[in-house]
Amino acid sequence: MYPALVAEVRTLALTPGDDAIRISAIDALVDARGTDAAEVLSEIVRGAGSLTVRAEAALALQSLDTGVTAQIVKRTADAISEDRTIGALFKKDVPSNVV
């Protein structure tokens, strides 16, 4: 995805407002792939926005967990490890009774 387009999608994803628009922006970032998209998804996950949007971004970021983006995923997981609301999405050993 072109940098200008990633910047526009980033703005949509980070602007408070309609969660449906923000989640659509996250979907566009998943389609874009690459480190630019992963960095924006990481920013969303670490942000203070809606839990729904942050969780969607966390799952999207994990779907991009490949060689190039693995460090971004790890850095994000480390940054939010103490966040009880969303940190569990990055734990590999989550008990089955955690919803």
Is residue 61 over pLDDT 70? Answer: yes
Does residue 97 belong to any structural domain of this protein?
Answer: no
Does residue 56 belong to any structural domain of this protein?
Answer: yes
Instruction: Report the number of distinct structural domains present in the chain.
Output: 1
pLDDT digit string, tens, across residues 72-93: 888 998 998 888 888 888 776 5
Query: 37 and 68 in contact (C-beta within 8 Å)?
Result: no
Grade residue 43 by pLDDT with cuts at 50, 70 and 90. very high
Q: What is the pLDDT of residue 1?
A: 57
Does residue 51 belong to any structural domain of this protein?
Answer: yes
- Residue 39: partners with Cβ closer than 8 Å, 6 or more residues away: 72
Grade residue 42 by pLDDT with cuts at 50, 70 and 90. very high
| Domain carrying residue 21 | 3-90
Q: What is the pLDDT of residue 93?
A: 53
Does residue 98 belong to any structural domain of this protein?
Answer: no
The count of other CB atoms within 10 Å of the CB of residue 74 is 12
Q: What is the pLDDT of residue 99?
A: 44
Does residue 95 belong to any structural domain of this protein?
Answer: no
Q: What is the pLDDT of residue 92?
A: 64
For the chain, give the DSSP string.
Answer: --HHHHHHHHHHHHSSS-HHHHHHHHHHHHHH-HHHHHHHHHHHHHSSS-HHHHHHHHHHHHHT-STTTHHHHHHHHHHTTT-TTTGGGG-TT--TT--
